[in-house]
Amino acid sequence: MTNVNQNEPQSGLRPESGREISSVSLIAPVLKMLNKLRDDRLLEDYAIGGGIAVLYYTEPVLTYDFDVICVFPESGLLVDPSPVFEYLRNEGYVFGKEDRVDIEGIPVQFIPASKGLVEEALKNAMNVKISGVETRILTVEYLIAIMLQLNRPKDRAKIDLLINNEEVIHDASKLQSILTNHDLISKWQRFKDVL
């Protein structure tokens, strides 16, 4: 696992905010299963992304699933999630739409870390503890960049929540660097012009 550099300003929550995801007891089993999949080498690495990551940093948002950005073990030229899915089926978990698996009532979607921005975001994910469970989560800066790259209305609304909440801190120069490196500066400017 990659740790964030302790010499760099940390993104996330202001230390005094003490925010914790609502109903964390609901997601603790999911986090434990993700750690088990990683420990059993069915996943090389993972981090929480999407709406659940936004929820970690700010107030509740509408989200339909628990996005897991992950790297599956090498299996040739194609990404092969079948060992993870087979393991989860054998454990009695049920699959729904779009390969989402219901883990203790939470629909979980495994999203392979594509080359470029998402892969870089996973490598730079933060180690955190949620409901007593060690896990990894995308940093605010990478979360903003990924949502900007997707540029769906729901993503723009979540970016707005992250950048306009005084309890959420982000490193503006780090964000600028990420946006520059991934050709997202013009999208960022258009987003800010609409605000």
Q: Is residue 3 part of a domain?
A: no
Q: Is residue 148 part of a domain?
A: yes
Does residue 39 carry a pLDDT above 50? yes
Looking up residue 144, the CATH number of its domain turns out to be 3.30.460
Beta strand ranges found along the chain (DSSP E): 12-13, 45-49, 66-71, 94-95, 101-103, 106-112, 126-130, 133-137, 168-169
- What is the pTM (predicted TM-score) of this model? 0.85
Range of the domain at 164: 19-194
Q: pLDDT by residue (tens digit) across 69-128? A: 999 987 666 788 999 999 999 999 999 877 899 999 899 999 999 999 999 999 999 999
Which range among 6-20, 111-125, 131-145 shows the weakest confidence by mean pLDDT? Answer: 6-20
Does residue 6 carry a pLDDT above 50? no
Q: Is residue 4 part of a domain?
A: no
Number of domains in the chain: 1
Q: Is residue 32 part of a domain?
A: yes
* 136 beta partners: 127
Does residue 7 carry a pLDDT above 50? no
Q: Is residue 7 part of a domain?
A: no
Q: Is residue 83 part of a domain?
A: yes
The set of long-range contacts for 127-131, using a CB threshold of 8 Å and a minimum separation of 24, is 127/1, 127/3, 127/4, 128/56, 130/20, 130/21, 130/24, 130/27, 130/28, 130/31, 130/56, 131/20, 131/21, 131/24, 131/25, 131/27, 131/28, 131/31
Sign of CA dihedral 159, 151, 147, 155: positive
